[in-house]
Amino acid sequence: MNDSGNRLLNGWQLSKMHTFEVAARHESFALAAEELSLSPSAVSHRINLLEEELGITLFTRSHRKVALTHEGRRVYWTLKSSLDALNQEILDIKNQALSGTLTVYSRPSIAQSWLVPKLGDFSRRYPSVALTILTGNERVDMQEKGVDLAIYFDDTPPSHQTHRFLMDEAILPVCSPAYAEHHALVEAPDNLRHCTLLHDRQAWRHDTGTDEWLSWSQHFAVTLPLSSGISFDRSDLALIAAANHAGVAMGRKRLVQKQLERGELIAPFGDKTLKCNQHYYVSTPTGRQWPKIDAFIAWLQEQAR
């Protein structure tokens, strides 16, 4: 091997990668030669050249047998994944892209409380689109993670991506009917000072962990308890705790609506609802305007209405 360990792949090596893909798939130079209409020695020569140029041993050789090295297997699976993605992209282009996979990233609370319960409708409309839903609290590197679109809740969409407005939001305190009765909360927000507050520490970017409650209490001039309460990194967990009589959560109206309708939670202070400066929006990598992405965003906006 030469000292080419840091040399990057170029067009010359790409031509040899086809030979490597076939040889790796069969783990046989003889079978690769048969598929490629070459001699086994020609296949072996191409693989030797590729290994020398890359500075990586791709195969171990023994009498009448070859096997992928650990490094060779890594290269093969990366190559296979890239070829699969390229083939799917070509099919999407030919089929106007209303088929294939679509990877969606969302904050966990949005996914559980709003998005996931509605997905059956999208699948019925677009049965050829296979959805993958990923969740997390951080802004994701869409290119690195293979994400086609992301749903966020914030006031400052990232400038390096394309984003579209989805829906606005408002917050209101919610708790179980039993908790409201025990603490005499109905139409009596001053009694909150005797309650346990449930916080979403990841409500939005730069949240201190209590921002939702502080914003609401300042707007309606309500005194909050001095204790810090219980904090979660997802608003849906705060809502589950509230439904199980652990305290009062600050609910996002869009996400808590079903629980209010079912009576699992109540809004003890009626119309004391505060519109958020933050809103839900959809981000996509700049320039990625595929029909299947546009179809999903149009469907999201329809659900939001």
Q: Could you tell me the two tokens for 240? A: 């589950």
Q: Are 57 and 1 in contact (CB under 8 A)?
A: yes
The top-level CATH class assigned to 100-167+279-304 is: alpha beta
Distance, in Å, from the CA atom of 183 to the CA atom of 106, rounded to the nearest integer, reads 35
Extents of the domains making up the chain = 11-94, 100-167+279-304, 169-277
**Unique residue bearing structure tokens 């994701």:** 140
User: What is the strand order of the sheet 248-252 is part of?
Assistant: 129-135, 100-106, 149-154, 274-285, 161-174, 248-252, 197-200, 230-232
User: Does 2 score more than 50 pLDDT?
Assistant: no
Cα–Cα–Cα angle for 252, 256, 258, rounded to 5 degrees: 155
User: What's the pTM?
Assistant: 0.65
What is the topology classification, in CATH, of domain 169-277?
Answer: D-Maltodextrin-Binding Protein; domain 2 (3.40.190)
Tens digit of each residue's pLDDT (9 = 90 or more) over 181-198: 999 999 999 999 999 999
Tens digit of each residue's pLDDT (9 = 90 or more) over 50-93: 998 888 999 999 887 899 999 999 999 989 888 877 776 676 66
HSE-up (13 A, CA, CB side) for residue 213:
29
User: Does 9 score more than 80 pLDDT?
Assistant: no
Identify the DSSP state of 148. Answer: S
Give me the count of residues in the chain. Answer: 305
Assigned CATH for 11-94: 1.10.10.10
Tens digit of each residue's pLDDT (9 = 90 or more) over 10-19: 666 677 889 9
Q: Are 266 and 142 in contact (CB under 8 A)?
A: no
Q: Which helix (H) or strand (E) holds 45?
A: helix 40-54
**Sequence-separated (6 or more) residues with CB below 8 Å from residue 2:** 52, 55
User: Does 172 score more than 50 pLDDT?
Assistant: yes
| Mean pLDDT score, 212-224 | 92
Is there a common fold for 11-94 and 100-167+279-304?
no
Reference 21, options 75, 86, 91, 88; nearest CA is 75
